[in-house]
Amino acid sequence: MDIQKKLGILADAAKYDASCASSGSNGRRAINGGIGSTEGMGICHSYTPDGRCVSLLKILLTNWCIYDCSYCINRKSSGVQRARFTPQEVVWLTLEFYRRNYIEGLFLSSGIIRSPDYTMEQLIYVVRSLRLDHDFAGYIHLKLIPNAAPELIAEAGRWADRVSINVELPNQPDLDRLAPDKELVQIRSAMHGVRDQIIAAKSESGTSSRTSHIAATERVATTTRSGLPRFAPGGQSTQLVVGATDTDDATILSLAESLYTHEKLRRVYYSAFSPIPHASPALPPVAAPLVREHRLYQADWLLRFYGFSVDEITPHDARQLDLTVDPKTAWALRNRGDFPVDLNRAPRETLLRVPGLGVRSVNRIVAARRWRRVRIDDLARIRVPLARVLPFVQTDDHVPRGNRSPDSSALRTIMTPRQLDMFAIAQSALHGEV
């Protein structure tokens, strides 16, 4: 099979992995004629609204796999056409695509072939060759094999900017049913090891002492001022498939919160399940709503930046996210007694819980009220969505009628119908209706 045909197969096979982002790279700069950069001139990253990075060569080393995960198009029982790159071919493709300004870095994953250790060795060969043999200083995101030897995972992190291990399903019963070769405990253990390596590397980068035996070539993989090697400076991420089982959103978000708290993940990505060719009968016949994926991202944002807990977002009587309104608005409707919020008196933490107010808007309000009383005109100037915000706040020139009007059912209609239309169109496209 020629390399162009392999590229078509293995690039298509990689599209199902959503955990691809390049935030937090370690600022590598090419030296002595090396190629690329992750900041300034050289590589310029472009992000989608949810933070995903574009312009990466995103491929699998191979779509052959010894595992039989039901939701994966590349499982061993699937009838898809198979292909496999050699490590040298991946290196060549990365360099050639970069030189033509088609890409800004590499996202590399693989099916499991022969054994986890063998697969990890093949992946490491690619990234080590790019760094050492070709002085490639661009961004690299590398998928790790969770049950590979710890020393292999440790080496992989030396050459990659970000690493990731996909959990895919939120609990062991789901994995037992759809991915019998995977164990959540083993995945978490590998994540824990990566976390410790990242923390250790950060600790070392803050010291001034360093042993002198580091080879000059190894400095290509370092960017700290002291020339210390960094382990996956962009951190680690993972992906969860949503809708392949009947597991509720509260369980999914609880796992995400645990991963952020205990494993210090940079991002958890959510991927709405959609039927795949040669699908297993254990899978649902229809796609999960794309709006559910969107609501999970919004809820994830509330966990990470707005001070919410999982129990607040998905209480015991509402374990599924409301698909008609965003999670913050849903929380506010359940807690009308906490509103209206006085924009001139409330602490920043309270302002962050007002529907329609984001972190940037709250920071601007807090800064403005140091000098004068905030009024509705001020909100308009900072482009706050007044229709969403005003029912929940009060200012010197505005108090919601009766402090509780409009009622919750009326407020539920204050949303963006156009956004829901977008999801309906996208969902129809998945089913070939548009």
Residues 296 and 344 reside in one and the same domain: no
Structure tokens at 105: 């870095």
CA 366 to chain centre: 30
Question: What is residue 234's three-state secondary structure?
Answer: coil
Residues 253 and 389 reside in one and the same domain: no
Residues 350 and 286 reside in one and the same domain: no
Residues 118 and 11 reside in one and the same domain: yes
Looking at the DSSP bridge assignments, the partners of residue 269 are 239
Domain that holds residue 119: 3-203+229-304
d(CA 294, CA 271): 9
Structure tokens at 291: 């709006």
Sign of the C-alpha dihedral computed for residues 233, 228, 105 and 166 taken in this order:
negative
Q: What is the pLDDT of residue 13?
A: 83
pTM of the model: 0.82
- Omega into 406 within 30° of 0, i.e. cis? yes
Question: Low-confidence residues of the chain, pLDDT below 50?
Answer: 21-26, 36-50, 52-53, 207-229, 403-405, 416, 418, 428-434
Contact 249, 276 (CB under 8 A): no
| pLDDT digit string, tens, across residues 53-96 | 457 888 999 999 999 998 888 888 888 899 999 999 999 999 99
Unique residue bearing structure tokens 């915000």: 389
Residues 141 and 242 reside in one and the same domain: yes
Residues 88 and 160 reside in one and the same domain: yes
d(CA 434, CA 430): 9
Residues 372 and 236 reside in one and the same domain: no
204-30-84 Cα angle (round to 5)? 95
Residues 63 and 163 reside in one and the same domain: yes
Q: What's the number of domains the chain is made of? A: 2
Residues 142 and 263 reside in one and the same domain: yes
Residue 72 falls inside a structural domain? yes
Of 245, 275, 304, which marks where a domain is finished?
304
Residues 63 and 130 reside in one and the same domain: yes
Contact 47, 54 (CB under 8 A): yes
Q: What is the pLDDT of residue 51?
A: 54
Smallest CA-to-CA distance from 55 within 15, 91, 107, 116 is with: 107
Residue 287 falls inside a structural domain? yes
